[in-house]
Amino acid sequence: MKSEELFKDAKNYLPGGVDSPVRAFKPYPFFALRGEGSRLFDVDGNSYIDYCLAFGPLVLGHANPQVMDAVKEQLLKGSAYGVPTEAEIELAKDVIKRVPCAEMVRFVNSGTEATMSAIRLARAVTGKKKIVKFEGTYHGAHDYVLVKSGSGAAGLPDSPGVPEETTKNTLLVPFNNEEALTSLVEKKAKNIAAIILEPVMGNVGCIPPKKGYLEFLRDITLENDIILIFDEVITGFRIAEGGAQEYFGVTPDLATFGKILGGGFPIGAFAGRKEFMERIAPSGDVYQAGTFNGNPISITAGIQTLKNLDKKFYSELDAKGLKMRRGIQDVLHDASLEYQVAGLSSMFQLYFTTHEVWDYTQAKTADTDKFNHYFHTLLSNEVFIPPSQFECCFISKAHSSEDIGKTLEAMAEGIKTAEKK
Ligand code: PLP
């Protein structure tokens, strides 16, 4: 029970014993020793088939040899320079080639920085202050967007320390609801700089857009001089080579990235039309900077990761996603339950609710006690999913058919246990 002892010790030095809230599940989280392929190994000698994948980045699985070898080679040449590298151009070109809206890119260190900077840019470009976000979307932990957020903040009130002066400029609407947004835009368009969204909501489980909804957002933003920002920190490089904008065929003005782009190392990026991106310092007047921006380790890992991500890669990954979602449906059917199985591509979640889930309010009808029993049963059967009903599960290239089969067996038991409690 080394994890239990470590957690007890950690709580003396790290708030809540962890460095990010959702990691602190009860009674104590397992402490990682190492990862390999689809498996995560803990300090107590257990291993788990991992569908958390560090909350999304590890699309090739843990410790992919190609990525690790390139990183080792780069490490011997230094880990940060404070001057530009050729590799940054290479990764930028690759992003631009893949992502429809991307004509220029700025690399930063996290998804949080990416959305903060994209919003600042949108405000500068439009000369307007307000932004619209959707209930339950998560765009990182900065003040502009910490309002009815998903992920670890789901269900919590706005955080103390976030000034009202900031959040009064953040307007909220339910996702997938054209009327609510139309009515807001009719009233406030002249003050709205940007609409920011996760094109597939991945921080209250997994909620895809209704058919036509992204097109509707594109039209209403164009008609009202509002910048459309797709936060593709999760969907970017996960659901298609060019992310959700390629998958759904809707091109935003700006997009933000993180997670997969860094190949398992810290990164963020925002990208978009050249006329907007050139407003970023030093070519323009919108300030954005970072000691570790374009860090050579993350950039190297990103380049090697993206090399694997072609059409064939996504068709194989999507097939695994489909197999998983269909398998869960079958398990539910056998148990005569009508819970919702959500997701697309290699993203999935089981909601312990019989309501259809198209927005935050509907997601919140899920029974979190049942989810917790399910989560712990999976864990005791060597399957690790994110420890919250309101996160999304991910599949990687490293997950085998056998892994998925074993996982579905564990899920059948997990669902049974949840129902008995
Ligand atoms: N945007 C989305 C959609 C996310 O899911 C996240 C993190 O999970 C972020 C932004 C913030 O990214 P980071 O944790 O790298 O700051």
- CATH of residue 141: 3.40.640.10
Of 289, 307, 325, which residue is a domain's last?
A: 307
- 332 and 261 co-located in one domain: no
Residue 167 — very low, low, confident or very high, per pLDDT cuts 50/70/90? confident
295-307 confidence digits (pLDDT tens): 999 999 999 999 9
Confidence (pLDDT) at 155: 44
- Classify residue 10: in a domain, yes or no: no
Mutate to test the pocket of ligand 1, among 18, 55, 112, 394 (most ligand atoms within 8 A of CB): 112
- Classify residue 240: in a domain, yes or no: yes
- Classify residue 5: in a domain, yes or no: no
Of 281, 307, 333, which residue is a domain's last?
A: 307
Q: Domain count for the chain, please give it.
A: 2
- 55 and 120 co-located in one domain: no
How many whole angstroms from 231 Cα to the centroid of ligand 1? 9
Ligand 1 atom with minimal separation from the 55 CA: 8
% of the chain at pLDDT higher than 90: 94
User: Is the CB–ligand 1 distance for residue 110 below 6 Å?
Assistant: yes
Cα diameter, the chain? 62
- Classify residue 302: in a domain, yes or no: yes
- Classify residue 415: in a domain, yes or no: yes
- 227 and 365 co-located in one domain: no
User: Is the CB–ligand 1 distance for residue 198 below 6 Å?
Assistant: yes
Q: If you take atom 10 of ligand 1, which residue's CA is the nearest one? A: 139
User: What mean pLDDT, rounded, does the chain reach?
Assistant: 96
39-57 confidence digits (pLDDT tens): 999 999 999 999 999 999 9
What is the rounded CA–CA span in Å between residue 226 and residue 211? Answer: 22
- 383 and 409 co-located in one domain: yes
Q: What pairs with residue 132 in β-bridges?
A: 171, 195
Answer whether residue 8 shows pLDDT above 60: yes
Confidence (pLDDT) at 150: 67
What is the rounded CA–CA span in Å between residue 305 and residue 58? Answer: 9
User: Is the CB–ligand 1 distance for residue 115 below 6 Å?
Assistant: yes
Burial pattern 278-290, b for ≥16 Cβ within 10 A else e, equals eebeeeeebebee
- 396 and 316 co-located in one domain: yes
233-280 confidence digits (pLDDT tens): 999 999 999 999 999 999 999 999 999 999 999 999 999 999 999 999
- Classify residue 323: in a domain, yes or no: yes
Q: HSE (CB half, 13 Å, CA atoms) of 383?
A: 25
Domain holding 36: CATH number? 3.90.1150.10
Residue 91 — very low, low, confident or very high, per pLDDT cuts 50/70/90? very high
How many whole angstroms from 233 Cα to the centroid of ligand 1? 6
Confidence (pLDDT) at 152: 62
pTM of the model: 0.97
Helix axes 401-420, 368-380, angle to 10 degrees: 130
Answer whether residue 154 shows pLDDT above 70: no
User: Is the CB–ligand 1 distance for residue 139 below 6 Å?
Assistant: yes
Domain around 258: 65-307
Q: Please say whether the beta carbons of 401 and 327 come within 8 A.
A: no
305-331 confidence digits (pLDDT tens): 999 999 999 999 999 999 999 999 999
How many whole angstroms from 391 Cα to the centroid of ligand 1? 12
- 125 and 264 co-located in one domain: yes
User: Is the CB–ligand 1 distance for residue 138 below 6 Å?
Assistant: yes
User: Is the CB–ligand 1 distance for residue 140 below 6 Å?
Assistant: yes
Of 266, 289, 307, which residue is a domain's last?
A: 307
- 197 and 297 co-located in one domain: yes
- 165 and 204 co-located in one domain: yes
Positions marked catalytic: 138, 231, 259
- 136 and 210 co-located in one domain: yes
- Classify residue 201: in a domain, yes or no: yes
- 114 and 56 co-located in one domain: no
How many whole angstroms from 420 Cα to the centroid of ligand 1? 35
Identity of residue 232: E
- 279 and 239 co-located in one domain: yes
- 184 and 86 co-located in one domain: yes
Confidence (pLDDT) at 166: 86
User: Is the CB–ligand 1 distance for residue 203 below 6 Å?
Assistant: yes
121-147 confidence digits (pLDDT tens): 999 999 999 999 999 999 999 999 998
- Classify residue 371: in a domain, yes or no: yes
